[in-house]
Structures are given as structure tokens and as C-alpha cells.
Amino acid sequence: MNTLPWQDYLPDFWAALGQTLYMVAIAGPCIILLGLTVGTTLYLSAPQSVAPRPALYYALTTLVNVGRSIPFLILIVLLIPVTRAAVGTTLGPIAAIVPLVLGFSPFFSRLVEAALRELDQGRIDAARAMGVTRVQLIFRVLLPESFSGLLNAITIVLVGTVEGTAVAGAVGAGGVGDFAIEFGYQRFYSELMFISVLAMVIIVQTLQLSGDAWVRARRHKR
């Protein structure tokens, strides 16, 4: 039997919301940085690309495919030894960072590779004819020219990361997902379940609308 009104658990909700935002704020940039690195390397090293290195490409693409094939909940369990070694615990928001980064980086890497493949090959060939170095090609041609596509990819992966925090919450990471299960489901507070779902919807919509607005602003400047 519930002995307290649902309003008394609102402080726990705000703490859980803070944990969710913390996980996204830390894992998101790590996913973006790692995904950009791997995705760009996949593009550059692919056969018939700018700097083909088939052995590296097939090794990376196999690793990325394996990472994308494992369901996130199972990946969290598989990474328990890695998480414990990295952060000293398998519980709490800090422990969720490791599986979030390793779970969503392969997906983002593919989005980055796809965005780079959409570029006009003529511009890349012109830049190479001018004698640019590989670093200059990446930071002066590839990333700037694909910026709108990359923004869309970043928005998609951040939304996925928010959803991932809810899954991680089911196995002890905390956050809104854990709050919804513990208080909304297990203690039968439908009001708290509704508030938890509403919070997740607001976070996702904020990310999506912000990303869309950024893309539109970028296109208007061009």
C-alpha cells in the first residue's frame, strides 16, 4: 500500500531528471567525438575513396557492425567488467556513460560515413588537386561541406542517447527511466509515470526542434 501522496516523490523526480541530463551531457559529446573519428576514418579508408586502406576499413566496419548488432540492454550486461574497471562501479549515472558511449558510437559512425558519402566528389577532387593535406581535407572540406548532414546525425544520436538512458535506468543507472519503473510502475503511481513520460518527451522534442532549427539556420547562411 502507498502511504504517501505522489507529490511527496517529486524531489526524487527532479533528482532523476538531473541524472538523465547528466548522462546525456557527458555521453553525448563523447559519442559525437568518437563517432566523427571512426566515421571519417571509414570514409577515407574505404576502397576507391580518398586514401583507400582496405584492411583498416574492413576491420573498422566489422567492429562497427558488431557494435550495432548487440541490443543495448544486452550490451550493458556484457560491458559490466569494462564499466567496473573504468569507473569503479556498475551502478549510477556515471556507470551508464561507458555503455552509452560504446553502444551509440557505432550507429553515429555510420551516420557520419553516410553524410560524407553525400558530398560532391568534384569539390573533393578539386581540393586534392590543390595539394591539401589529409588534415586540411578533413577540417576544411569534408566536415564543413557535410555540416548540415552531420547536424541531423547529431540530433538523431542524441535522441537515441536519451532513450538509452531510460534503458540503462532499468538496470541501476538511475535517471527518469529508473524513477518511472520504481515509483510509477512498481508503486502504482500513475501520475509519476505520466510525469516521467512527459519529461522524456519534452527532452526529445527540445533536442529535435533545436537540431532542426540549427540545420535551417545553417542552410539560410549558405
Model confidence band, residue 141 (pLDDT cutoffs 50, 70, 90): confident
| 44-53 pLDDT tens trace | 998 888 778 9
In a domain, 3, yes or no: no
Number of domains in the chain: 1
- Cα-based angle 141, 143, 148 (whole degrees, multiple of 5): 115
pTM for this model (two decimals): 0.90
In a domain, 2, yes or no: no
| 8-27 pLDDT tens trace | 888 999 999 999 999 999 99
In a domain, 159, yes or no: yes
72 is in which domain, residue-wise?
8-221
Around Cβ 68, how many Cβ atoms within 10 Å?
14
In this structure, of 8-17, 35-44, 112-121, 163-172, the range with the lowest mean pLDDT score is: 163-172
Match 551509440 to its residue by C-alpha cell: 104
Give the domain CATH number at 56.
Answer: 1.10.3720.10
In a domain, 63, yes or no: yes
In a domain, 1, yes or no: no
